[in-house]
């Protein structure tokens, strides 16, 4: 009985709310976006000035009215910039209504009310987002280019450091530290190419699309696009107001970049352990333990690795929000703004932290070289025999027998005697001893893309040309 009474009481409360009229106060807050889209204030004002100018050119408003609107909006922008803009709760639903409300207070509602003629918030919000995202992605482009410059500079400066290269986290073949650096540098360079393509698709103008059917006052869309620095127009008004693929593509790009950052960070975390000791992070990018004073934790790299999941979540979450939407604008699309804002900050901050980590870490050439093992030159033994005219499939088997002999006798493979090599295969000659030289091993990988000094310098040149 008590449960039934509780249910009836709740129903009565909701019905009284409906009779009072208006929105549920919680629904007001649920619907508002001003708390996060306020960051778009500058773009919203720029778009409104361009739109008002186009309306003046079309004769919808007078030149004097345009000048009043422009001056009023410039004052609104100053209020935002100086932190004195006062948001009116329950009235300023979003950045668009907040700016127009304040404009009316400054120049009068009669003139301010003409600003929105023929325009919809559907086109306005996507214009603001595209302007903001374009500028932020250009800043990210600069940060990523800086990271590539630092990577290339370190690769050039530390080109003589030789270390183990790994597959399956097992020591495989000797490589240059620079070659490892450039393996990620070239991946990030490809990310930079992709980013530039994304920026080009972001930078398209939706102003003049109206709510969905277009503008009825023959407004000059090309003029607005030029003023706002867009490269071109969105050519279908229905698609223009509904399109958030530019956000999705940014989130996809950022998720891919962060995946690469995460893998790079993981390698450095491993290389910075006491067991490896190849690198040491600067104090600016690591912390001590609250209990164990001897520890130095690679927090910066672990956070970079962790932020990858956050970036992927932005992408996956928003794609799920979009997947079942009918055509043109739906309020679900408001869910594009917050992940976009957080994603851009996450990616931008991550690139800058990665840059700081790399620029300030120190390398230990001795520990790198000490980690090399003669067994890593087993492939060089096979290559040696290939140069003697032996088919590779046969040389691979012979090299394996050499490794087995070293294990069987407990002798490092480079210390097997000439007679022991000849006992495995009589095509070995005394110059087999020359194979066991790590520096010569890396120099033999001289084809384009290899780990020889000339190949590494060529990679650096390619990267700088990409920049």
Q: CB–CB of 386/392 below 8 Å?
A: yes
Residues with Cβ within 8 Å of residue 269, at least 6 apart in sequence:
298, 301, 302, 305
Distance CA 26, CA 38 (A): 20
Which residue in 289, 327, 417, 446 is the catalytic one?
Answer: 289
Backbone angles phi, psi at 28, to 5 degrees: -60, -50
Active site residue 237: no
Q: CB–CB of 70/81 below 8 Å?
A: no
Can you tell me whether residue 205 is helix, strand or coil?
Answer: strand
Closest CA to 213 of 113, 126, 119, 131: 119
Asked whether the CA dihedral 311, 313, 316, 322 is positive or negative, the reply is negative
Going by their DSSP bridges, the two strands 287-288 and 296-297 should be labelled as antiparallel
Structure tokens at 338: 């917050």
Report the length, in residues, of the chain: 467
Which residue in 9, 116, 149, 168 is the catalytic one?
Answer: 168
Backbone angles phi, psi at 176, to 5 degrees: -85, 140
How far lies 37's CA from each of 103, 125, 251, 294, 336, in Å? 18, 9, 18, 46, 11
Tell me the helix, strand and coil percentages in the chain, rounded to 5. Answer: 70, 5, 25
Q: CB–CB of 215/157 below 8 Å?
A: no
Distance CA 399, CA 421 (A): 10
Active site residue 143: no
* Three-class DSSP labels, 143-157: HHHHHHHHHHHHHHH
Q: CB–CB of 137/250 below 8 Å?
A: yes
The residues carrying an active-site annotation are 168, 289
């Amino acid at each position: 009985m008590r449960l039934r009474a509780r249910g009836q009481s709740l129903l009565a409360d909701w019905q009284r709310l409906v009779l009072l009229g208006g929105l549920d106060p919680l629904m007001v807050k649920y619907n508002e976006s001003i708390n996060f889209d306020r960051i778009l204030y500058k773009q919203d004002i720029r778009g409104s000035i361009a739109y008002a100018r186009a309306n003046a050119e079309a004769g919808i408003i007078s030149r004097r009215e345009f000048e009043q609107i422009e001056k009023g909006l410039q004052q609104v922008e100053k209020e935002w910039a100086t932190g004195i803009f006062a948001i009116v709760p329950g009235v300023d639903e979003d950045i668009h209504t907040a700016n127009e409300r304040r404009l009316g207070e400054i120049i009068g509602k009669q003139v301010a009310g003409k600003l929105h003629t023929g325009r919809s918030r559907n086109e306005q919000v996507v214009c603001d987002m595209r302007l903001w995202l374009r500028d932020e992605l250009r800043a990210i482009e600069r940060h990523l280019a800086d990271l590539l410059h630092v990577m290339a500079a370190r690769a050039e400066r530390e080109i003589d450091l030789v270390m183990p290269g790994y597959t399956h986290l097992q020591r495989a073949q000797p490589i240059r530290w620079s070659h490892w650096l450039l393996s990620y540098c070239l991946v990030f360079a490809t990310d930079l190419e992709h980013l530039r393509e994304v920026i080009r698709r972001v930078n398209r103008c939706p102003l003049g699309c109206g709510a969905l059917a277009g503008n009825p006052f023959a407004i000059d869309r090309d003029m607005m696009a030029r003023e706002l620095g867009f490269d071109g127009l969105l050519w279908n008004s229905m698609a223009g107001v509904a399109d958030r693929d530019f956000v999705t593509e940014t989130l996809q790009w950022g998720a891919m970049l962060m995946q690469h950052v995460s893998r790079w960070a993981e390698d450095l975390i491993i290389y910075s352990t006491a067991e490896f000791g190849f690198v040491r992070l600067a104090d600016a990018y690591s912390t001590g333990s609250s209990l164990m004073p001897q520890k130095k934790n690679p927090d910066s790299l672990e956070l970079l690795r962790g932020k990858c999941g956050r970036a992927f979540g932005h992408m996956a979450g928003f794609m799920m929000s979009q997947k079942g939407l009918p055509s043109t604008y739906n309020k679900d699309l408001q869910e594009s703004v917050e992940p976009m804002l957080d994603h851009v900050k996450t990616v931008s901050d991550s690139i800058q932290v990665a840059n700081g980590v790399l620029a300030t870490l120190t390398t230990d050439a001795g520990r790198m070289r000490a980690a090399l093992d003669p067994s890593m030159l087993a492939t060089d033994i096979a290559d040696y025999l290939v140069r003697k005219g032996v088919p590779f499939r046969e040389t691979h088997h012979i090299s394996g027998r050499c490794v087995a002999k070293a294990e069987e006798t407990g002798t490092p493979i480079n210390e097997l005697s000439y007679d022991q090599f000849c006992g495995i295969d009589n095509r070995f000659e005394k110059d087999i001893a020359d194979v066991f030289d790590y520096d010569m091993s890396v120099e033999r990988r001289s084809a384009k893309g290899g780990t020889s000094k000339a190949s590494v310098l060529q990679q650096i040149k390619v990267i700088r040309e990409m920049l």
